[in-house]
Amino acid sequence: MTIIQARTAFISDLHLGSPNCHAQALVDFLAHLRVERLYLVGDVVDLWWMSERRAQFDRHQTQVFDRLREMARRGTELVYIPGNHDRPLRDLCGLVLPKMTVRRDAVHRARDGRRYLVTHGDDFDGAVQHGGWAERLGDHLYDYVLAGNRLTNRVRQKMGMRYWSLADFVKRQSHLAERYIERYVSASIQAARHRDLDGVICGHIHRPALIERDGIVYANDGDWVESLTALTESETGQLSLIRWHGHGEVIAELPMPLLAAA
């Protein structure tokens, strides 16, 4: 059993309550995770889906909560930053419970001294959404793409093939989607720079990334609808982007600052 040992981990966009959440994989990931602090960076529960369709948590989704409670009992501190799909929980911001805090956003100080704005990311929508029929159509079609993603991977699983994101493939073929994501990255970096921070850690757009641009780190921990990814911080402060498919695959790492490495 390979354990992922880290100082901190960040996950977002679980969308529990909707059929799009890969809850079984998430339960497996959490069972292998050992961290001092876990940030839940928004859209943990999909209240939009649940209110419109009266959905319920299935067995694996219920197990996600069991795993989180187990992690808290083992000593992991949970920090919950609600997103747009679990927006009503923002009324609880400032609430401190045993081993869990609810925050509107947070500033995380990594072991190497760098400070990161941790936010779901929907606050940047005003700067990146131009509106118009194309974007509205894209939002509407996304649910159908996710349904196709579920069907495709159900077939692939029966054939013994590993998970593959049809949804991500479709988005990468769309110039509109790619331009939106680039505007989102730029707005995120600008928000970190405005607050005199070293970077931003977010979710929201279901596109994992770990880059440094003009001295500012942009880290998107991805999601558990398409990407099945998480962000971790090592005991030395190094950030890594991990994709889970039965074990952790590092798909990106942030180089350590020269002073920290020395």
In this prediction, residue 199 carries a pLDDT of: 98
How many CB atoms are located within 10 Å of the residue 23 CB? 22
CA dihedral 253, 70, 27, 235 (to 10 degrees): 10
In the chain, the largest separation of any two C-alpha atoms, in whole Å, equals 55
For strand 248-253 and strand 199-202, is the pairing parallel, antiparallel, or unpaired? Answer: unpaired
Residue 65 region by backbone torsions, left for phi larger than 0, else alpha for psi between -120 and 50, else beta: alpha
pTM above 0.75, yes or no: yes
Q: Torsion angle, CA of 12/219/131/43, rounded to 10 degrees?
A: 10
Structure tokens that stand for 155 in this block: 């077939």
Torsion of CA 253, 69, 99, 111, to 10 degrees: -10
Which stretches of the chain score pLDDT less than 50?
A: 130-138, 140, 261-262
What pLDDT was estimated at residue 135? Answer: 39
The pLDDT value given to residue 167: 60
Contact 217, 116 (CB under 8 A): yes
- Integer Cα distance of 82 and 20 in angstroms: 19
pLDDT at 230: 98
pLDDT at position 255 is 81
pLDDT value, residue 256:
74
Residue 121 is given by DSSP the state S
pLDDT at site 138: 41
- All structural domains of the chain, each given as residue ranges with its CATH number in brackets, are 4-261 (3.60.21.10)
| Torsion over CA: 119, 124, 128, 133 (sign) | positive
Q: Name, in order, each residue with C-beta under 8 angstroms of 23's C-beta and a sequence gap of 6 or more.
A: 14, 16, 58, 60, 61, 63, 64, 224
Exposure class string for 25-49: b at 16+ Cβ within 10 A, else e: bbbbbbeebebebbbbbbbbbbbbb
pLDDT at residue number 108: 98
